[in-house]
Chain A
Amino acid sequence: MFGEYSIGDLGSIFVMQGFAGLILFSVYVLMALGLAIIFGQMGVINMAHGEFMILGAYVTWMTSNFFQTYLPNLFSGYFFLAMILAFIASGALGMLVEWGLIRHLYRRPLDTLLATWGLSLILQQAYRSIFGAREVGVELPQWMLGSMHVTDNIEVPINGVFVMGLTVLITVAVAYIMYKSRWGRQVRAVVQNRVMAGAVGINTEKVDRYTFALGCGIAGVAGSAFTMIGSTGPTSGQLYIVDTFLVVVFGGAASLLGTIASAFSISQTQSTLEFFMSGSMAKVLTLLAVVGILMLRPQGLFALKVRK
């Protein structure tokens, strides 16, 4: 199949393809991190994860419009502020949802699935009523568009580099919060034994609320970042939800490292296969492989040992 191309061409395409795989990997990690925290640490199946992401995207869109109208000089930097606002907005909504809905369902994990699915429908219709049924276009500052020219065939997309950088940053931050901070220790204690954690004086309700808010906030940041590569519409969140669950479940629910490993293996398989066959077939084969591995290892790639 490659006979007709020169070695130089092929070499640079493989570099590009490797890069495409890395971008896909970052995208997967970014969208799965929030869910991994919520699903992994709290056992809540949050079907509205995509809608929290899209809230972040809409916040970005509003920020962009605001800057264009009132602060055109600062437009080139608006994206950083937009991501912070997206985190706050999604986190706040997450906190509200936890308080009003989720906390009543902790003992019934399957019901959270139904409740959050309903929530996702409500949010979709709310976005449609507020922002209109059509998609909105988020305008990006000029420096974030286009690519860095390396050679004739190797071009590095700037938005890809941005997403990768952001992913590394957020992953490190989450790892620090979960494994080094006092609050992270409390979260892990609650996961391992809720009753005991409560008995030693941890306010488990508060821990739950902030964990959920953190997960939703990260979803918001992810949504904000994805305005660079995808669409922003009332139902755009649905585009991400399947892949997100796939990554989290395949990685093993309670493990951050598992999420990263699973995102890496799925994205690399996907992007390698995509190069040799059509996109739809690549997806089918990737899903088959995941299903096969989960049949042999139902707990996912990395499983936390928890005393039941």
Chain B
Amino acid sequence: MSDDTKQGLQSAFRRKLLMGIAAIPALTVLPRPSFAQAPATSAINTTGLAVTDTEVTVGILHSATGTMAISETGSIEAEKLAIEQINAAGGILGRKIKFIQEDGASDWPTFAEKAKKLLVNDKVAAIMGCWTSASRKAVLPVVEQYNGMLYYPTFYEGLEQSKNVIYTGQEATQQILAGLNWIAKEKGAKSFFFVGSDYIWPRTSNKIARKHVENVLKGKVVGEEYYPLGNTQFNSVINKIKLTKPDVIFTDVVGGSNVAFYKQLKAAGIDLSKQPLLTISVTEDEIDGIGGENIAGAYACMKYFQSLDNPNNKAFVPAFKKMWGEKTVIGDVTQAAYLGPWLWKLTVEKAGSFDVDKIAAASPGVEFKGAPEGYVRIHENHHLWSKTRVGRAKLDGQFELIYETADLVEPDPFPKGYQ
């Protein structure tokens, strides 16, 4: 199909050229084909990437099937929207973006294999992809070995940094600390109860949160509980919460367990409008499954909410809904995924090249003023400077912005004193 479009473009151009020759006197008033002003391919692509005079190819690598499809669908949609918008605005260095989508199928070795396919066979200039830390860890050695560029959208536990990865979501300290500070100040919270799913992200996040609560806020963690991924029964931990009566329940339960957790919390008579609960894992996407009535009143701490009131977001949300349907919701990670193609475009333009080494070197300092979350800038450590926000879940499944940090929060993937 792509070949057809290419031929179509070429013949249209040829026709235009013939017309132009036939009407040489009028040549100056003809609109010039956009790539006429584009730099020569040989100059901006010295490493044999899939860049032609008219097109540049990127890869999209997410799970469209398997358990993670629930979460990753939004990221795929956001990346496609960004690519379409960039193309509509003239592409990158005069070249349209073409994407090749591969399915990681919620299976980490498959992610690695597909990443290798994209880099080695398709020679893509960048990969927008991965969602879970496990998939990123599987892909990381591949992008490092074959020198690719990965734009990773999810908020994650930190403790990683690579020349070949740009982390467009928040790392743990960026996401958590501001939220804990806010709730300690606002609610006078002293005692915290942690509930999480049992894998690396919640455990690392809770470790950071515990250090912060104990060392900085001088509070107390009265319980820390982990449940296997996919667990559907939370009545025991809810009883423990009732017994210990914490000021704040701090949760990072993920996936289908989330739904069970909030439904059972509500059924056990815990009223979230009276019992403060701070979550770092529930976005608008998750509320779709949980149901607004089960989670209304809970606080979420992240960098983006669909309800944010700024001009960028007011253009972004309708564009997203126009492309993917009126009922779609946009969560934090979806927005971060949208940043990937844009940041890559801005970096390529800054570097004046598609070469991965030049992009990696040019990334620090790249700023994106059109981000739906406001303004972001890439840090030397390839994470983003971003604001942290606290939102309160409403009955209709949206968040109401309650608090945001005054300044951008510095990403700190290897936080001292928190390990």
1/0 contact string of B219-247 vs chain A (CB within 8 Å): 00000111110111101111110110000
Query: Is B258 interfacial (CB-CB < 8 Å)?
Result: yes
Q: Mark A209-231, 1 if CB is under 8 A from B, else 0.
A: 00000000000000000101111
Answer yes or no: B66 CB below 8 A from chain A CBs.
yes
Q: Quick check: B232 and A228 within 8 Å, CB to CB?
A: no
- Could you say which residues of chain B place their CB within 8 Å of the CB of A149? 269
A159 to B259 alpha-carbon distance, docked (Å): 14
Mark contacts of B36-73 with chain A using CB atoms, 8 A cut-off: 1 yes-contact digit, 0 otherwise. 00000000000000000000000000001111011001
Give the residue of A137, A138, A279 whose beta carbon is less than 8 angstroms from that of B236: A279
| Cross-chain contact B239 with A20 (CB below 8 angstroms) | yes
Find out whether the CB atom of B260 lies under 8 angstroms from the CB atom of A231. Answer: yes
Instruction: Name A253-308 residues within 8 Å CB distance of B.
Output: 270-271, 274-275, 278-280, 282-283
Residues of B within 8 A of A (CB): 64-67, 69-70, 73-74, 198, 224-228, 230-233, 235-240, 242-243, 255-260, 263-264, 266-269, 285-294, 397
B295 CB to nearest chain A CB (Å) = 10
B228 near A283: Cβ-Cβ < 8 Å: yes
Is A238 touching B259 in the complex (CB atoms < 8 A)? no
Shortest C-beta distance, B397 to chain A (Å), equals 8
**Pairs of residues from A and B, 6 with the lowest C-beta to C-beta distance, nearest first:** A135-B289, A20-B235, A231-B259, A155-B269, A157-B267, A274-B236
Tell me the nearest residue of chain A to B74, going by C-beta: A134
Grouping DSSP codes into helix (H, G, I), strand (E, B) and loop, the B interface class, with mixed when no group exceeds half, is helix
Interface centre among B64, B255, B256 (most CB of A within 10 A): B256
Q: Is the CB of A229 within 8 A of B237?
A: no
Known A231-B256, A232-B289, A236-B256; judge A157-B239 contact (CB<8 A).
no
Question: Mind listing 22 A-B residue pairs with CB under 8 Å?
Answer: A10-B243, A16-B242, A17-B239, A24-B235, A27-B233, A128-B69, A136-B288, A137-B290, A149-B269, A155-B268, A229-B232, A229-B233, A235-B66, A235-B256, A238-B230, A271-B235, A275-B240, A279-B225, A279-B226, A279-B231, A280-B226, A282-B236
Q: Is A23 an interface residue (CB 8 A)?
A: yes
Question: Is residue A81 contacting chain B, with contact meaning CB distance below 8 A?
Answer: no
Which chain A residues lie closer than 8 Å to B233 at the CB level? 20, 23-24, 27, 229, 270-271
**Pairwise interchain contact B243-A135, C-beta atoms closer than 8 A:** no
A interface residues (Cβ-Cβ under 8 A, vs B):
5, 9-10, 13, 16-17, 19-20, 23-24, 27, 125, 128, 132-140, 145-147, 149, 153, 155, 157-160, 226, 228-236, 238-240, 270-271, 274-275, 278-280, 282-283
Among B227, B240, B259, B397, find the residue whose CB has the most chain A CB atoms closer than 10 A. B259
Known interface pairs A134-B289, A233-B289; A145-B226 also in contact (CB < 8 Å): no
Most buried by B among A125, A226, A279, A283: A279
Besides A128-B69, A280-B226, 20 more A-B contacts (Cβ < 8 Å) are A20-B236, A20-B238, A20-B239, A135-B70, A137-B291, A137-B292, A155-B268, A229-B232, A229-B260, A229-B263, A231-B289, A232-B259, A233-B70, A238-B230, A274-B236, A275-B236, A278-B227, A279-B236, A280-B198, A283-B231
Q: Whose C-beta in chain A lies nearest to the C-beta of B106?
A: A235
CA–CA, A147 and B263, complex, Å: 11
Question: Of residues B66, B263, B285, which shows the largest number of chain A Cβ atoms within 10 Å of its Cβ?
Answer: B263
Chain A: minimal CB distance from B245 (Å): 9
Whole-angstrom distance between the alpha carbons of A180 and B65 in the complex? 45
Contact A139 B291 (CB under 8 A): yes
Q: What residues of chain B lie closer than 8 Å to A279, measured between beta carbons? A: 198, 225-228, 231, 236-237
Chain A, Cβ-Cβ closest to B264:
A229
Q: Closest Cβ of chain A: how far from B282's Cβ, in Å?
A: 12
Identify B264's interface contact among A128, A139, A140, A157, CB under 8 A. Answer: A157
B232 lies within 8 A of A134 (CB): no
Known A-B contacts A133-B70, A229-B263, A229-B267; the reply to A278 vs B226 at CB < 8 A is yes
User: How distant is A219 from chain B, measured CB to nearest CB, in Å?
Assistant: 15
Known contacts A146-B267, A235-B66, A271-B235; is-contact A134 B226 (Cβ 8 Å): no
Question: Do B288 and A135 have beta carbons less than 8 Å apart?
Answer: yes
A128 touches B256 (CB 8 A): no
A134 x B198 contact (CB < 8 A): no
Q: Which of B233, B238, B289 has the most CB of A within 10 A?
A: B233
Residues of B within 8 A of A278 (CB): 224-227
Q: Is the CB of B70 within 8 A of A145?
A: no
Smallest CB separation, A229 vs chain B (Å): 6
Q: Which residues of A contact B65 (CB under 8 A)?
A: 125, 128
Least Cβ distance of A282 to chain B in Å?
Answer: 8
Distance from B188 Cβ to chain A, minimum over Cβ atoms (Å): 21
Complex-state Cα separation, A274 to B227, whole angstroms: 10
Task: Give chain A residues whose Cβ lies under 8 Å from the Cβ of B260.
Answer: 229-231
Check if A13 sits within 8 Å of B289, measured CB to CB.
no
Determine how close the nearest CB of chain B comes to the CB of A7; give it in whole angstroms: 13
A230 near B232: Cβ-Cβ < 8 Å: yes
**When chains A and B are docked, how far (Å) is the Cα of A236 from the Cα of B236?**
21
A240 touches B232 (CB 8 A): yes
How many whole Å from B330's CB to the nearest CB in chain A?
12
* Residues on A with beta carbons closer than 8 Å to the beta carbon of B266: 145-146
Query: How many whole Å from B273's CB to the nearest CB in chain A?
Result: 13
Asked whether B256 lies within 8 Å of A233 as measured between CB atoms, the reply is yes
Whether B289 and A157, one on each chain, are in contact in the complex, defined by CB atoms closer than 8 angstroms, is no
